[in-house]
Amino acid sequence: MVSPAIALAFLPLVVTLIIRYRYYFVLFYRAFLVRVWQDCATGLSREERAFQYVLTNATPGDPDSILEAFDQWCSKVEFISNIGPKKGKILDRLLMEQSPMTVLELGAHCGYSAVRMARCLPLGARLYSVEMDQRNATIAEKVIRLAGFDDDTLIVSPSDEVIPRLRSDYGLETVDFVFMDHWKKCYLPDLQLLEGSGLLGKGSMILADNVLFPGAPNFLRYVRKSGLYEWRIHQATLEYIRGIRDGMAELVYQGIKGGRAG
């Protein structure tokens, strides 16, 4: 039995830790505890619950109302790691400035960022979204169609299998814009796969989310050292949780080092 005196001595430390890491507790509570509880209570997956909410609260064919419904659900009900409204605005701005004709998304989850991007693209642009989880892809497909983007292509496979086949199976010559938002450990190998496949041209932009939290240190180290990119970090906070620092890395491919520009 711990004596009350010893317990009291540790109290300031415990209080300090709780205050200091309160946003991480909130994240753990909303992303994990609420999810487990709701999975048992509803018999539905978190993604299916989010979709039910979107179906009830958004207007079909109106992408902004679909994004708004997702944002309300993720801020007030359960956490889902969509890019969210704040970082989403940076993504919107970059897409509108770049006007890319071919866009590749790695990690579609429920289709939030796919809808977000599709509404910013110029007429005739093509969006290829890659999602390896079949259940997530089913929801993403429904969300993308609900928003009215019937021409977007959803590829259900792991990114490292899809990237080498983009040229042969989907007829892509170059990719103008890549949005990376899948597992962080895949960022570096997939970037190198894209380089090796010749799909990046001079000026192709890569935007990688969550490079500070949960973080992609190997990816950032490589980008810094490779000399292949002009790059910057957009400082932000984690989607739907203020108080946890995060950032997105914006890379612009400069072509093959010491050789012909891509």
The 10 Å CB-count burial string (b at 16+, else e) for 77-101 is ebbbbbbbbebbebbeebbeebebe
Sheet holding 175-180, edge to edge: 153-156, 126-131, 102-106, 175-180, 200-208, 245-253, 229-237
159 near ligand SAM (CB under 6 A): yes
Candidate list 184, 190, 246, 250, residue with the active-site label: 184
Ranges within 114-143 binding ligand SAM (CB under 6 A): 130-133, 136
Taking the least distance from each CB to ligand SAM, the nearer of 132 and 206 is: 132
109 near ligand SAM (CB under 6 A): yes
Ranges within 9-68 binding ligand SAM (CB under 6 A): none
Tell me the backbone φ, ψ of residue 104, rounded to 5 degrees: -120, 130
Using a CB cutoff of 8 Å and minimum separation of 24, what contacts does 72-75 make? 74/50, 74/239, 74/240, 75/240
Taking the least distance from each CB to ligand SAM, the nearer of 70 and 229 is: 70
239 tagged catalytic: yes
Q: Which residue minimizes CB distance to ligand SAM?
A: 107
Q: 3-state DSSP: the chain helix, strand, coil percent, rounded to 5?
A: 55, 20, 30
Measured in whole angstroms, how far is the alpha carbon of residue 81 from the centre of its chain? 7
Binding-site member from 58, 186, 188, 212 for ligand SAM (CB under 6 A): 186
181 tagged catalytic: yes
Applying CB under 6 A, the span of 14-22, 36-44, 178-186, 240-248 interacting with ligand SAM comes to 178-186
Candidate list 78, 152, 176, 209, residue with the active-site label: 209
* Residue 155: both structure tokens together: 């590829």
248 near ligand SAM (CB under 6 A): no
Candidate list 181, 190, 246, 250, residue with the active-site label: 181
Measured in whole angstroms, how far is the alpha carbon of residue 80 from the centre of its chain? 10
Query: Would you name the residues annotated as active-site residues?
Result: 181, 184, 209-210, 239
Question: Which residues sit at the interface with ligand SAM, rule CB under 6 A?
Answer: 81-83, 106-110, 112-113, 130-133, 136, 158-159, 181-183, 186
